[in-house]
A and B are shown apart, each in its own frame.
Chain A
């Protein structure tokens, strides 16, 4: 029973994340009289570039994290090598996929320019994500601490 409730809760929370986006899409569609200003071609390009860049940067950061993991395991080389391969895979697939043609090139003229732009874009997105996350969590804590004072433990009789 608890498991069903937990799954239902996760579904509700998942819906809560996408509901505002859906509402905006409906309003935008109503305002423009079309299926909103959502351009599938540009959006796919951005989506693909975001996957490639965030995978590569994320793997690179996790590769650094492995050094700390290695501290408790007599510094083994095998996981470091494995993660370095994962980073290399990200870099090579980025270069190959961007170089395949205009599909992943946004308004940039070369693979190098697009790759550097992707990193810059991800940094800006990361700043926006961090700020939004901190504001949300900060707002939640401020409402909790400014609510009624609660007794956590029942007083002993």
Chain B
């Protein structure tokens, strides 16, 4: 079979099915459809992850290869944050205090894992010697956005929040930590990724983020315009007939049944 058809069959169809599955599971009200959506998402995700074996000749399978590499540290980071958040002062669903320690351990291991992917032996490599180029897109984009968003949240806590100086300082510390990682990656060569490569891709990531924000804003603008044009062309709804005597008497009976009683002091 042609390499292109193999890529479509083993990578692009499962990748589209992930979006479709998520869509079905989030938008459906019936349990059967929700389960179907979830199962479709999980199976499609697994198929995407194994695409380096099912569609080895396709460059698109590099995405599946990258997802396979980042899924571990990402889950650890997210689990860590979940455990720390819900072992704190939450009104419902509070976890035991010991989970906070476990959360910090998960967070620490997840962070070290990501750093080892940049500087150590855990970099996503094809056949042991070829660097997966999508890693050079993923990591700088994630770091630069993490740094900028933490900075935004830190300032937002001060500007919008009430007495949130401590939280603001913590978010500023995350932003600073990420900034230090970026500067280290721009100056210190990793085993498989050079600092020059990282610098080049970092600026491409900034262009990419700006381009994505402009493109998404444009599409939302067009969407709003389409709905506005449609709604403004709709005819005014016809007015209903005035209520008959029978309807008025029925309404007065209902009102008298539901109001009245003693006045509270």
Task: Tell me if B207 counts as interface (CB < 8 A to partner A).
Answer: yes
* A128 and B182 within 8 A (CB): no
Task: Tell me if A102 counts as interface (CB < 8 A to partner B).
Answer: no
Partner pick for A47 among B70, B74, B208, CB 8 A cutoff: B208
* A16 and B155 within 8 A (CB): yes
* B134 and A124 within 8 A (CB): yes
* B226 and A146 within 8 A (CB): no
Task: Tell me if B142 counts as interface (CB < 8 A to partner A).
Answer: yes
Task: Tell me if A19 counts as interface (CB < 8 A to partner B).
Answer: yes
Q: List B contacts of A132 (CB < 8 A).
A: 141-143, 145-146, 149
Partner pick for B138 among A27, A124, A149, CB 8 A cutoff: A124
Q: List A contacts of B147 (CB < 8 A).
A: 20, 24
Known: A47-B210, A121-B137, A124-B134. A86 touches B219 (CB 8 A): yes
* B155 and A58 within 8 A (CB): no
Task: Tell me if B23 counts as interface (CB < 8 A to partner A).
Answer: yes
Interchain CA distance A74-B186 in the complex, whole Å: 56
CB-based nearest A residue for B170: A143
Q: List B contacts of A153 (CB < 8 A).
A: none
* B85 and A23 within 8 A (CB): no
* A50 and B211 within 8 A (CB): yes
CB-based nearest A residue for B157: A140
Known: A39-B200, A43-B204. A58 touches B219 (CB 8 A): yes
Q: List A contacts of B211 (CB < 8 A).
A: 46-51, 54
CB contacts under 8 Å to A, within B70-120, are 70, 74, 77-78, 81-82, 84-86, 88-90, 100
Q: List A contacts of B148 (CB < 8 A).
A: 16-18, 20-21
* A38 and B203 within 8 A (CB): yes
* A28 and B199 within 8 A (CB): yes
Most buried by B among A9, A31, A122, A142: A142
Q: List B contacts of A55 (CB < 8 A).
A: 215-216, 218-219
CB contacts under 8 Å to A, within B56-76, are 59-60, 62-63, 66-67, 70, 74
* B141 and A82 within 8 A (CB): no
* B230 and A140 within 8 A (CB): no
Task: Tell me if B175 counts as interface (CB < 8 A to partner A).
Answer: yes
* A50 and B212 within 8 A (CB): yes
* A31 and B187 within 8 A (CB): yes
Q: List A contacts of B82 (CB < 8 A).
A: 138
Q: List A contacts of B204 (CB < 8 A).
A: 42-43, 46
Known: A24-B202, A82-B229. A131 touches B142 (CB 8 A): yes
Known: A9-B160, A24-B202, A58-B219. A128 touches B138 (CB 8 A): yes
Task: Tell me if A78 counts as interface (CB < 8 A to partner B).
Answer: yes
Task: Tell me if B49 counts as interface (CB < 8 A to partner A).
Answer: no
CB contacts under 8 Å to B, within A4-47, are 9, 12-13, 16-21, 23-24, 27-28, 31-32, 36-39, 42-44, 46-47
9 further contact pairs, Cβ within 8 A, besides A21-B206, A47-B210, A54-B212:
A16-B155, A23-B179, A36-B199, A49-B211, A50-B209, A62-B220, A120-B60, A128-B141, A143-B167
Listed by A's residue number, 13 A-B pairs whose Cβ atoms lie within 8 Å are A20-B144, A28-B199, A54-B215, A56-B219, A58-B215, A66-B223, A76-B230, A86-B223, A132-B143, A134-B81, A135-B78, A143-B167, A145-B90
